[in-house]
Structure 1
Amino acid sequence: MDAPSGPLGPLADVLERLGLYLTVVDEEAEGASLLLDGYGVAVISGKADPGRRRWTAVHELGHHLLQDEYHSDAGVAAGRDEREQIIDQFTEEFLLPADDLLRAWESVDSGQSARSVMVDLAARFRLSWRAVVNRAVHLGVLDRGEARRQKADTPVRGDFLAVYGSTPAPDLEGGATGAQWRRAVMSAWSEGAVTAPRAVELLYGAIREDELPSRQLEESLP
């Protein structure tokens, strides 16, 4: 079966469908994940730029799908074993499928610059500039010399406005959670399983106590 192409939506929602529940916290370490009974939880650093946050989230998904019981990306840049490299390859393909990049690259043959194609991809797929340039290199459409020049010239807001018409919408901002998680918390509140402060805490400030709906606890039938 062919997988759908095109950019992914909010990653917290996407990853929940694959059994990984995440949020974004104010910590230095890029990300960490934990597996329990087939389900996973992950935390992502909100201090990274939006494109990097999406990359880290999918990297943690890779560990989740490989059933790694615990993983932390703290200091991961210091060394990468074969397993990490495989997960990075998975992350590239998950966030920017080869077919999508190669299809977009056909515009270069029609006279569009390689840079404008990559700026458009970075905006639509909400990836860091470095990740898009590396993806083009790995797929053999951009040589390493040109890649070094492009990495030294990171696009500014004006570049995105000129090519894409707007700046990329940020994803995975502080306290982000997926829709399934939010519905589960609200269900727990409605059923009396959690207190109001705990519900607010679990939703990472997305709601205030005075915004919680009235509880509708059903009385037991005689």
Structure 2
Amino acid sequence: MVATDSGSMGRRIAQARGSAGLTQEELAKAVGIDRSALAKIENGTRRVSALELARIANTVGERIEWFVIEAPPAVVSHRNLSAPGTASPLIDRILERAAWNTEFILSHDDRLDLTSPATQPKPHTLNDAEEAAALARRTLGFDTTEPAFNLSSRFSDAGLLPFALDLGPDAADAAVMHLRQGGVAVVNGHLQVGRRRLAAVHELGHYLFAEDYSVDWQIGERDDDDMWEARVDRFARAFLLPSAGIQHHWNLLRPQHDLRTAAVKAASRFRVDMSTLARRLFELCLVSQGTAQQIRQFRTTRADIVELNLLVHDELAAPHLARAYEEAVVRLYRQETISISRATDLLFGTWNEDDFPGLPNLPESAVRNLV
């Protein structure tokens, strides 16, 4: 939907300028207008011309449609373990762009199916979170013991398109947005693979529960039942480390190996980070708190990979786009619904023009009609 309201556009311009770290004076100079004119644009008392808007977009590093098209109606959640509650404008911008792109594709491609599964009840206790994880695993086609691999394709089957892009160390871990049909999730590809997977499943929880994000400053500190984000994190751990699976595997490993080797093998099998493994083993009463603290300090080395014959799979490595999403973009390009430049833009610049298939030449009659 086009946003024609001057006030709304002005607020977006002010927001983009702030995110770019520019003063009104600096942006006005770059655009070629007086600071007072920019101030009026931002407060909605002066309309911005198309040329001025193009210059503003170029200066602040935004796309023009970000200013003129309303974002899809959505519920947004973030996961930021390192700094809970802090703003993350970069991931918000990428998430909004992914939502716009997906809505565009859905309106032009009837083969992209984002049929969402039935919304799961919101877990009110940690036991509820465990049951919700078991239900989610069944919904996505996992049994009660196996590791959860190929998250991207499984998420897509559930109507949630994942995008993993390197957003740097200061952005949130992940975010999710519900769309009119399905949803999109952005994972910060700067994270290590175990933390990427945990963040992605955390957002899957928000997607399935269809809940607003609530800031929880104690996440990672306590597991009280009244803490919503702690329950979503419990859901994520139970999804990646199902109780029956990790208990069986740990009970096989521990008698055969020292603590470190057992932890490295278990973390590798289920593709989780040591912190997540330690937390899960402790909450399932498989290790003491002191042992869990020891496990948190372990790190998997290259020597471990070689000597223990570990399988390495860098899941959701940046840049990563959902395969179903990429296929839809290629279909639109082949149908000549979109140009090659539009296709590369929809693919977040992760494809070069040489990556696209050649298109057949138009027949002579079509050329004459076009002319």
TM-score range, shorter chain: 0.7 to 0.9
Query: Alignment partner of 1:120: what SS?
Result: helix
In the other structure, the counterpart of 1:93 is: 238
**1:142 corresponding residue in structure 2:** 287
CA deviation map 1:130-158 (0-9, x unaligned): 11111111111110111112222323222
Q: Which runs of 5+ in 1 are unaligned?
A: none
- For the residue of structure 2 that corresponds to 1:78, the secondary structure is coil
CA positional deviation for 1:63:
0.4
Q: TM-score, normalised by structure 1?
A: 0.84
Which residue pairs with 1:214 in the alignment?
358
Question: Equivalences for 1:119-138 in 2 at 5 Å?
Answer: 119-138=264-283
Q: Indicate the structure (1 or 2) with the bigger Cα radius of gyration.
A: 2
Cα separation, partners in 2 of 1:108 and 1:169, compared to 1, 3 Å: closer
Greater Cα offset, 165-174 or 33-42: 165-174
In structure 1, what is the Cα distance between the partners aligned to 2:216 and 2:173?
Answer: 10
CA contact (8 A) 2:250 2:266 kept: no
Against the structure 1 CA distance between its residues 156 and 206, is the aligned structure 2 distance closer, same or farther, given a 3 Å change threshold?
same
The residue type equivalent to 2:146 in the other structure is G
CA contact (8 A) 1:175 1:205 kept: no
8 Å contact 1:12–1:176 — kept in the other structure? no
The alpha-carbon deviation at position 10 of structure 1 amounts to: 2.5
- Greater relative contact order: 1 or 2 (C-alpha under 8 angstroms, separation 6 or more)? 1
Distance 1:218 1:7, change over 3 A: farther
Cα RMSD for the two superposed structures: 2.6
Question: In 1, distance between residues paired with 2:251 and 2:182?
Answer: 40
Amino acid at match of 1:210: D
Contact 1:123/1:160 (CA < 8 Å) preserved in 2? no
Distance verdict in 2 for CA 1:108–1:13, change over 3 Å: closer
Corresponding position of 1:61: 204
Give the deviation of 1:101 after TM superposition.
0.6
In the alignment, the residues of structure 2 paired with residue 203 and residue 121 of structure 1 have an alpha-carbon distance, to the nearest angstrom, of 35
Alignment CA distance shift 1:17-1:115 (3 Å)? same
Instruction: Select 1:111's aligned residue among 256, 268, 272.
Output: 256
Task: Please state how far the C-alpha of 1:13 moved relative to its aligned partner.
Answer: 1.3
Residue 152 of structure 2 is matched in structure 1 by 12
Deviates most, 199-208 or 96-105: 199-208
CA offsets, 1:77-107, max 9 Å, x none?
Answer: 7334622122111111211211111111222
Trace 1:18-29 onto structure 2 (pairs within 5 A).
18-27=158-167, 28-29=171-172
Checking the alignment, whether the CA contact within 8 Å between 1:189 and 1:195 is kept in structure 2 is: yes
Describe the superposition over 1:61-84 as per-residue Cα deviations: whole angstroms up to 9, x where unpaired: 10000113x659xxx673346221
Distance 1:211 1:152, change over 3 A: closer
Shift of 1:166: 3.4
Distance 2:289 2:305 in 1: 23
1:171 aligned partner, one-letter code: E
**1:193-216 superposed Cα distances (whole Å, 9 cap, x missing partner):** 222122123334443212311346
Q: Which residue of 2 aligns with 1:48?
A: 191
Distance in 1 (CA, whole Å) between partners of 2:347 and 2:149 is 20
The answer to whether the Cα contact below 8 Å between 2:274 and 2:298 also exists between their aligned partners in 1 is no
Aligned to 1:23, what secondary structure does the other structure show?
A: strand
Alpha-carbon distance in 1 for matches of 2:346, 2:231: 33
Say whether residues 1:175 and 2:348 are aligned partners: no
Equivalent residues of 1:31, 1:45 under 8 A apart: yes
1:46·1:173 contact (CA, 8 Å) conserved in 2?
Answer: yes
Query: 1:128: Cα distance to partner?
Result: 0.7
Q: 1:198 to 1:106 in 2, by over 3 A?
A: same
Counterpart among 280, 286, 305 of residue 160 in structure 1: 305
Aligned partner of 2:164: which letter?
A: V
Unaligned regions of 5+ residues in structure 2, if any?
A: 1-134, 220-225, 364-371
